[in-house]
Amino acid sequence: MKIVFATNNLNKLSEIQSLVPNGIEILSLIDINCNEKLPETSLTLEGNALQKAKFVFDNYGYNCFADDTGLEIDALGGEPGVYSARYAGENCLAKDNIRKVLDKLKGEKVRGAKFRTVIALIINGKETLFEGECNGSIMQTKNGEEGFGYDPIFKPFGYNLTFAEMTKDEKGVISHRGKAVKKLILFLAATD
C-alpha cells in the first residue's frame, strides 16, 4: 500500500520511512507532485492534521497522513498550542518564540507544560487520529544545542536534561511525536 506523508519536513519523512512495516511505501508530497501549501487554518491540532490529510486525499486521491504538534504551557492557558510555529509572529525564528515564552513566564513559578502531537490518517476515506504527549516543564534559560523549536527550554519530567541536550534517539523514545508515530505504525502493521 502507498501512503503519502503530508509534510515538507524531510527529517520527519526519513524517520517514518525507516519504521513502517514492509508492504507500506511512504510517499512524499514531492513524489505526488504536490507543490501547494497545505491548508492549516483550524484552531486545534486535530483540525489542522485532518485538514492537511483530507486536502491530499481529496485533491490527489492518495491515502495519507499528516501531523500537527503544539507546546501547551499551563501558566499561559495552553498557549502557544496550535500557534507554536508562529507564536512570535509569521515567519519568526525559533529563538523569537523561545524569547516570547521566557518573557511571558518571567517570575512565574508554575512552569508545567506538555508537547502534544496529533496524527490524522485517512485510508479509503476513513479517518483515524493518533495522539502522543510528553509532559515536562519550561526552564528559566536555554540549555542544549540539539533538536529544534522549543527543545532548549523544555525539560521532560523525570529527566535532568532538556530535549536539546538529548540525542535524537533519546528524545524519540519519550517524545510526543515518537509516541504518536508508534501508535500509527502499530495501526498500519495491523491493517497491512
Number of continuous H segments (helices) and E segments (strands) in the chain: 5, 7
Nearest of 9, 54, 3 to residue 32 by alpha carbon:
3
Task: Please identify which of the residues 68, 74, 96, 169 carries the catalytic annotation.
Answer: 68
CB of residue 107 to ligand IMP, shortest distance in Å = 24
96 included as an active-site residue:
no
> Which of residues 149, 161, 178, 187 is near ligand IMP by CB under 6 A?
149
Near ligand IMP by CB under 6 A, which window of 20-28, 53-61, 147-155, 183-191? 147-155
Q: Distance between CA atoms of 13 and 150, rounded to whole angstroms?
A: 20
Q: Distance between CA atoms of 112 and 155, rounded to whole angstroms?
A: 10
Beta bridge partners of residue 25, listed in sequence order: 2
Residues touching ligand IMP, count (CB under 6 A)? 18
Of 30-69, binders to ligand IMP (CB under 6 A) are 67-69
Q: Distance between CA atoms of 16 and 50, rounded to whole angstroms?
A: 18
Q: Distance between CA atoms of 176 and 70, rounded to whole angstroms?
A: 10
Nearer to ligand IMP, 67 or 165 (CB): 67
Near ligand IMP by CB under 6 A, which window of 27-35, 125-133, 142-150, 180-188? 142-150
* Residues contributing to the site for ligand IMP (CB under 6 A): 67-71, 84-85, 94, 97, 115, 147-151, 163, 175, 177
Which residues are catalytic, by number? 68
